[in-house]
Amino acid sequence: MKKCPNCASLMPDDVVRCIRCGFDSKPTDTPVASAALVAPSARVERKGRFSTGWTLARQSFRVLMMDKSLLVFPMLSGIASFFVLASFLGGLFAVGYSGHKEAMNDTTAWALLFAYYFANYFVIVFFNSALVACAMVRFRGGTPTLRDGLREARSRITQIVAWALFAATVGVALRMIAERVGFIGKIVIAILGAAWTVATYFVVPVLVVEKLGPYDALKRSTGIIRKTWGESLVGNVGIGLVTTLVTILAVVMTGALTGLAAAKFASIGVAITGAVLILLIIVGSALISSALSSIVLSASYLYATEGKVPRVFADAGLQYAFAQKKK
């Protein structure tokens, strides 16, 4: 291990770019870290929720175009999650379960469900951590690579495993309670689940930057949310809305065009091609949306913890996405 010359943080000997401050000890032509972050401008006016979401999505897309390889992380996460699900379903089939209620009342099935939650959380958090690590490097003025992201995620494997165990325990506990309560109880559990999602919003960047254990990471994430609570986490909501609208428009247009072409030429091949294109649009949109959300999450974390906005977001009104909570 060695210390970063800029912030004195410990990092592996073979790493030349510090994940905490972005200092790159290898000569580069990219802007220095101090030029990558700027103080928010007081001249930026408050925008509406949709307008802010659209601007954040557009600025995040600019970052993604600088580092198109970041799309690999959500793709790997999706593939790994599919195999985890397939393994879980295969496990249920192997032990002979076919009825939902029977499975939910059996210790073996609950153990399988816990294993599924753990594996799924681990996969998602691991690749999200790699993506967030790359975004942090870019925001600090560096030039991230896939290898950098995977290295940083591997270096935090202990924290990721601990968090996956913690989150899987909470998930199974909520599921067990939901299986044993009435209609009102299910509503309460749904509310608790939503609160858990909000409280853990900043967990991944906290794991990446601050390397905290699961309980401390949850406390830290909750503290950031409380301090910077805004309009329903407008950046994430806005990106979801924008990508959903764009996807629907693209799917409708593609479906209409291929439908007309298939009818005109009476060709099933055209229809199949259209179906494949629609599938690719949906998958591609999901990958882009996931990457954009992680980019905005990273920028929001920097603003919430340091009061600095990455230069690429300087005119995006990020300071209004997480407005200060009134006392």
Q: How many CB atoms lie within 10 A of CB 234?
A: 26
Confidence band, pLDDT 50/70/90 cuts, at residue 262: confident
What does the pLDDT read at residue 123?
Answer: 95
Q: How far, in Å, CA of 7 to CA of 25, rounded?
A: 12
Confidence band, pLDDT 50/70/90 cuts, at residue 166: very high
Q: Tens digit of pLDDT for each residue in 91-127?
A: 667 666 655 544 445 677 788 889 999 999 999 999 9
Token pair in block for residue 2: 């060695």
Query: Average of pLDDT values for 208-221?
Result: 90
Look over the chain and give the mean of its residue pLDDT values, rounded to a whole number: 77
What does the pLDDT read at residue 168?
Answer: 93
Express as a percent the part of the chain with pLDDT over 90. 20
- Taking the domains of the chain in order of start, what are their residue ranges? 2-26+50-237+288-321
SS3 of 265-320: HCCHHHHHHHHHHHHHHHHHHHHHHHHHHHHHHHHHHHHHHHCCEEHHHCCCCHHH
Token pair in block for residue 164: 């996956």
- Does residue 31 sit in helix, strand or coil? coil
Q: Is the pLDDT of residue 53 over 80?
A: no
Confidence band, pLDDT 50/70/90 cuts, at residue 324: very low
Q: How far, in Å, CA of 75 to CA of 299, rounded?
A: 21
What 109-114 contacts at long range (C-beta under 8 Å, 24+ apart), as own/partner pairs, is 110/172, 110/176, 112/88, 113/88, 113/172, 113/175, 114/168, 114/169, 114/172
Asked if 196 and 247 count as a contact pair (C-beta separation under 8 A), the reply is no
- Give the residue with greater pLDDT, 49 vs 142: 142
Asked if 211 and 156 count as a contact pair (C-beta separation under 8 A), the reply is yes
Please state the length of the chain.
Answer: 327
Confidence band, pLDDT 50/70/90 cuts, at residue 274: confident
Confidence band, pLDDT 50/70/90 cuts, at residue 30: very low
Residue position matching structure tokens 């990457």: 291
What's the predicted TM-score (pTM) here? 0.75
